[in-house]
Amino acid sequence: MRKSVFLIAGLALLAGSCKQNDKISNMKNPLLNAFNTPFEVPPFAEIKLEDFAPAIREGIKVQEAEIEDIINNKEAPDFANTIVALEESGSLLNKVESVFDNLNSSLTSEDMQKIAEELSPALSAHSDAIRMNEKLFKRVQEVYNKRENSKLKGEDSMLLENTYKYFVRGGANLSPENKEKLKSINESLSLLSLKFGQNVLSEINNFKLLIDDPADLSGLPEAVIAQAAETAIEKGDSGKWVFTVQKPSLIPFITYSDKRELREKLFKAYTKLGDNNNEFDNKEILSKIVNLRIEKAHLLDYPSHAAFVLERNMAKTPEKVMSFLNDLWSKALPVAGREAENLQKLINEEGNSFKLEPWDWWYYSEKLRKAKYDIDEEEMRPYFKLENVRNGAFEVANKLYGIQFIERKDIPVYQEDVQAFEVKDKDGSHLGVLYMDFYPRASKRSGAWMSEYRSQQIKDGKDIRPIVTTNFNFSKPTGDKPALISYEEVETLFHEFGHALQGLLTKCHYPSLSGTSVPRDFVELCSQVMENWAAQPEVLKSFAKRYDTGEVIPESLLKKMDKSKYFNQGFVTVEYLAASLLDMDYHTLTQPDSLDAAAFENKAMNDIGLIPEIIVRYRSTYFNHIFSGGYSAGYYAYIWAEVLDSDAFEAFLETGNIFDPKTAEAFRKNILEPGGTVDPMKLYLQFRDKEPNTDALLRKRGLI
């Protein structure tokens, strides 16, 4: 059945004062009425915070009635009156949840977060009540047991399989006593995961590196200084400079600042998020999450949380994931070690006697890259005007699939910086709506992500098209300069845009199978494959134009970029793999224990031989992906999918045309459109005619 993307991580509201909320007339609640807007997007300006709680309660009430109708149906259970009816139930609840979830991620507030904490148990209980409803499961089971005779095919067969497993994995077969235990665990996990993410956001917002001496700005590019001055104004420190642990502020500072002690201060502030023994500390929370996940796995007859999660992924088993990660680790670690030696050599050559530390890596690797290839990030940044990069991504999609993106000022947005586009297919038909939210703010979580306000589905013969949103945290325009982004951020834009394409191009009947509703280690294929186009010279030339002169990125700079493409790849691979292995170490535990997060993490990193000059990409206390998002026992998915995307892009390269129409059509038909209606490896084989291996990935990263 359909589940909200952020059911555990986010929702928010039943809440605060229920009696006061009860006074609100449902008839006046915009969330409970049809959205009278272009393409029925949410009417953001009409929605008030107090509208959500009664709307959520009403959504729960309506779905409860829909479930009762299914149970009380006098006809024998069949695919239509049980499985499809269940899939279609909860549409009102899903509609309201999606609006709140997305706003709670991109435009939250203390009041919204409080409501989220109060609502989370109610939503968890509602979900459990469905999955553990014996009468409902009996009907589902009866349809499932007759599946051989029903002759269901394709999407219908997959929906039946998923629905049955949804119930079994949700505790339908447990004893009454264990069902109550599972309900309690699910409620606790929903609250703990929510609190973990809120703590990280609070920690990010509570730290600032305040600089009032211009000498402390030594080494920083003009644009970085200008952005810090604007941040200072926003923070109430006009006339000074403020740097934060948000990536658009953090990364430029530790890359260019000549002040080693300040680099250390900012870097350590970032790596201590959630680990400051204050009200936002996450150590005890993550320990509880890990232990509750183990307890839940045991109740459902799995040895570990990883075994429970991976059963539904391409990898299938923890052993296969660990083997995959360890094989890559053995190839990447020696490369990273050699990179560290080169950086230490540079430090020594400058007459310094200190040992390379993690807060030095970015600074000295940038110096080394400049020395070896005569290139640095700031030399490239003027060519990456945000609007041009966005249009470049649109052009790639147009050349591959013929689709068009038309900005629409009449489509409501939830914040003035957000852009809205109507997306049309090559025949001019409507494909969906795309929101793009580019800039950081205190009310927005860190990182970049794609989500949906509405999933695609075909109902009663009507193709209901999706409403997709992409979110980023890029530096804002400063003064008379537009937003200029780094090449890494160029890749991030193409990445999330790739997710958006899967959401927009999908063609499925059932929302729980459409778009990005695919195994976690398959979903990143569609996003990461887009990054390959971003790096191609002919694509770069289409959008990489100086913001001030319009000059196309020169051939000399493209050659430098190509020569330096393998630079620092040992570091990039190792810090990522370290986080993936840390994730697996937590989630392959088979017995609950009183975890000391710092000790556990240190042991995990020592066991794999992580060199001290590199720190794991995400330390445990701010590892949102696995403790607040949906990537527990799944952070490996990015590099697993990179094996797929590297091989998939080679299919285009082999034709001699990166926009080869036949290959693009095959990718759209076999990868982008089917969603989760077919086993992912079968889809990939239909596209590529062979299974992928790691060679293409290792070649792309320069590790072989």
* Domain edges within the chain: 18-131+133-169, 207-271, 314-381+569-631, 382-563+638-701
Structure tokens at 359: 């807060």
User: What is the pTM assigned to this prediction?
Assistant: 0.92
- 169 exposed, middle or buried (CB, 10 Å; 0-12, 13-18, 19+)? middle
Share the mean pLDDT of the chain: 94
Which amino acid, one-letter code, is at 386?
L
First CA to last CA across the chain, in angstroms? 44
Query: Strands 467-471, 430-437: parallel, antiparallel or unpaired by DSSP?
Result: parallel
- String of DSSP letters for 366-406: HHHHHHHHS--HHHHGGG-BHHHHHHHHHHHHHHHH--EEE
- H or E, element range at 44: none
- H or E, element range at 92: helix 91-106
What span, in angstroms and rounded, lies between the C-alpha atoms of 704 and 700?
9
Structure tokens at 192: 């703990």
What span, in angstroms and rounded, lies between the C-alpha atoms of 518 and 532?
22
**Cβ-contact 455, 514 below 8 angstroms:** yes
Least confident of 249-263, 267-281, 309-323, 685-699: 685-699
Closest CA to 397 of 659, 115, 216, 691: 659
State residue 696's pLDDT score: 87
Cα torsion 637, 640, 644, 649: sign: positive
Question: What is the residue whose two structure tokens read 């009041």?
Answer: 111
pLDDT band at 22 (very low <50, low <70, confident <90, very high): very low
Angle between helices 91-106 and 110-131 (to 10 degrees): 150
Structure tokens at 380: 């490239």
Number of Cβ atoms within 10 Å of the Cβ of 283: 18
673 DSSP assignment: S
Sheet holding 449-454, edge to edge: 404-407, 419-424, 430-437, 467-471, 449-454
Torsion of CA 617, 623, 625, 631, to 10 degrees: 90
Give the count of alpha carbons within 13 A of 180, CB side only: 2
Range 18-45 average pLDDT: 78
Structure tokens at 635: 């952070």
CB proximity list for 467: less than 8 A, separation 6 or greater? 39, 40, 41, 432, 433, 435, 452, 453, 454
676 DSSP assignment: T
Closest CA to 503 of 467, 553, 475: 467
What span, in angstroms and rounded, lies between the C-alpha atoms of 138 and 594?
39
State residue 378's pLDDT score: 86
Domains 18-131+133-169 and 382-563+638-701 are alike in CATH topology: yes
State residue 25's pLDDT score: 47
Range 21-25 average pLDDT: 42
279 carries an active-site annotation: no
pLDDT in tens, 273-294: 999 999 999 999 999 999 999 9
**Cβ-contact 209, 262 below 8 angstroms:** yes
State residue 15's pLDDT score: 32
State residue 311's pLDDT score: 96
Range 582-593 average pLDDT: 97
What span, in angstroms and rounded, lies between the C-alpha atoms of 189 and 195?
10
- String of DSSP letters for 576-617: HHHHHHHHHHHHT--S-----HHHHHHHHHHHHT--TTS--S
pLDDT band at 376 (very low <50, low <70, confident <90, very high): confident
pLDDT band at 12 (very low <50, low <70, confident <90, very high): very low
Structure tokens at 342: 């080169």
pLDDT in tens, 204-227: 999 999 999 999 999 999 999 999
- H or E, element range at 452: strand 449-454
- String of DSSP letters for 198-245: HHHHHHHHH--EEE--GGGGTT--HHHHHHHHHHHHHTT-TTSEEE-S
What span, in angstroms and rounded, lies between the C-alpha atoms of 94 and 515?
16
What angle (nearest 5°) sits at the alpha carbon of residue 656, between those of residues 651 and 660? 65
State residue 27's pLDDT score: 64
195 DSSP assignment: H
pLDDT in tens, 129-184: 999 999 999 999 999 999 988 889 999 999 999 999 999 999 999 999 999 999 99
Which CATH number among 1.10.1370.40, 3.40.50.720, 1.10.3720.10, 3.90.1720.10 corresponds to the domain 382-563+638-701? 1.10.1370.40
What span, in angstroms and rounded, lies between the C-alpha atoms of 567 and 372?
10
State residue 26's pLDDT score: 58
Range 377-384 average pLDDT: 92
CB proximity list for 110: less than 8 A, separation 6 or greater? none
Closest CA to 273 of 681, 615, 698: 615
Task: Write down how long the chain is.
Answer: 704
The percent of residues above 90 in pLDDT, for the chain, comes to 91
pLDDT in tens, 589-647: 999 999 999 999 999 999 999 999 999 999 999 999 999 999 999 999 999 999 999 99
**Catalytic pick among 66, 155, 496, 531:** 496
**CATH architecture assignment, domain 18-131+133-169:** Orthogonal Bundle (1.10)
Number of Cβ atoms within 10 Å of the Cβ of 341: 12
Structure tokens at 172: 């339908």
**Cβ-contact 304, 589 below 8 angstroms:** yes
Which amino acid, one-letter code, is at 215?
A
457 DSSP assignment: E
What span, in angstroms and rounded, lies between the C-alpha atoms of 686 and 668?
12
Range 331-352 average pLDDT: 98
**Cβ-contact 508, 674 below 8 angstroms:** yes
